[in-house]
């Protein structure tokens, strides 16, 4: 039997799948931004549920007290970024047809803003209740919006989106008198999938529920800074 010194060295190459590497990268980004005190909020919904409107109102309410920036994902056009211009530093992330955002594009958007020190970084994902649920952007808070015009049966039909979110905003509650939609039904349906889900009904245009939304953000950031210090 050969002695140890004669044994040829054996090298083992450990390869990660693309998915595993993406998870490692997202976790590294999450930790990097947590250490800086930046709460990253990933906003997801079907098209038109009210993500940009919510961001406009959030920037108006919080922009003078907190350092905020927004990365806006879209298939084409910079229309949402234009709506936010003048309210908050914004970078448009154009996916060129892809149905969701991925971390490298988010990191390019943040670099385009100069990777500033922030209290809150909002990411408006591409409008879609399916694909964005499968992509970790390094966020600390995943927020799904469901509007009163979409029907109160959507959580059960798109379970991954609701299972992976911490907060659900029920939007456009000013339209409740005109549409067949029960807020308690949508909340019960979502909590069957994700019992811990925090649910906040809002009407962003009129400002309903925005105090609670703002408290939710500030509390989440406080928890983040407490746990990373």
Ligand X SMILES: Nc1nc2c(ncn2[C@@H]2O[C@H](COP(=O)(O)OP(=O)(O)O)[C@@H](O)[C@H]2O)c(=O)[nH]1
Q: Which of 172, 216, 217, 220 binds ligand X (CB under 6 A)?
A: 172
67 burial (CB, 10 Å; 0-12 / 13-18 / 19+) is middle
Tell me the site size for ligand X, rule CB under 6 A.
16
Contacts with Mg ion by CB under 5 A: the residue count is 3
Name which position in 44, 49, 216, 224 contacts ligand X (CB under 6 A): 49
Q: According to the binding rule CB under 6 A, does residue 42 interact with ligand X?
A: no
- Per rule CB under 5 A, is residue 57 in the interface with Mg ion? no
Indicate whether 80 belongs to the interface with Mg ion (CB under 5 A). Answer: yes
Interatomic CA distance for residues 122 and 224, integer angstroms: 15
Q: How far is the CB of 55 from ligand X (least distance, A)?
A: 8
Query: In 10 A of CB 218, how many CB atoms?
Result: 16
- Among 45, 46, 52, 148, indicate the residue that binds Mg ion (CB under 5 A): 52
Which of 80/152 has CB closer to Mg ion?
A: 80
Q: Which of 32, 46, 195 is nearest to 111 (CA)?
A: 32
Minimum gap (Å) between residue 43 Cβ and Mg ion: 9
State the Cα–Cα distance between residues 187 and 52, nearest whole angstrom.
22
Q: Is residue 132 within the footprint of ligand X (CB under 6 A)?
A: no
Rule CB under 6 A: choose which of 38, 42, 52, 194 binds ligand X: 52
Angle, in degrees to the nearest 10, between helices 103-112 and 18-35:
30
Spatial contact of 192 and 160, defined as CB atoms under 8 Å apart:
no
Q: How far is the CB of 124 from Mg ion (least distance, A)?
A: 6
Contact between 155 and ligand X by CB under 6 A: the answer reads no
Q: Which two three-digit tokens encode residue 69?
A: 């920036």
Q: What order of strands is seen across the sheet that includes strand 198-201?
A: 90-94, 68-74, 120-124, 39-44, 141-147, 167-171, 198-201
Distances (CA, A) of 113 to 59, 109, 117: 16, 7, 10
> Which residue lies nearer to ligand X by CB, 38 or 52?
52
Residues that bind ligand X (CB under 6 A): 45, 47-53, 127, 171-172, 174-175, 203-205
Residues that bind Mg ion (CB under 5 A): 51-52, 80
């Amino acid at each position: 039997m050969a002695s140890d010194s004669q044994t040829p060295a054996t090298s083992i190459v450990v390869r990660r799948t693309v998915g595993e590497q993406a998870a490692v990268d997202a976790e590294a980004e999450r930790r990097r931004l947590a250490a800086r005190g930046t709460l990253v909020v990933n906003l997801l919904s079907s098209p038109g549920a009210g993500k940009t409107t919510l961001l406009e109102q959030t920037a108006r309410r919080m922009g003078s007290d907190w350092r905020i920036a927004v990365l806006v994902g879209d298939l084409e056009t910079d229309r949402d970024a234009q709506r936010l211009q003048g309210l908050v530093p914004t970078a448009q992330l154009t996916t060129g047809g892809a149905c969701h955002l991925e971390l490298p594009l988010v990191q390019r958007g943040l670099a385009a803003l100069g990777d500033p020190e922030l209290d809150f970084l909002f990411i408006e994902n591409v409008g879609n209740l399916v694909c964005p649920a499968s992509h970790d952007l390094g966020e600390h808070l995943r927020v799904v919006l469901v509007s009163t015009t979409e029907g109160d049966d959507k959580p059960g039909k798109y379970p991954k989106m609701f299972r992976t979110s911490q907060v659900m905003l029920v939007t456009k509650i000013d339209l409740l008198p005109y549409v067949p939609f029960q807020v308690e039904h949508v909340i019960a349906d979502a909590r069957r999938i994700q019992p811990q889900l925090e649910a906040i009904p809002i009407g962003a245009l009129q400002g309903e529920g925005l105090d609670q939304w703002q408290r939710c953000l500030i509390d989440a950031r406080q928890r983040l800074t407490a746990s990373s210090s």
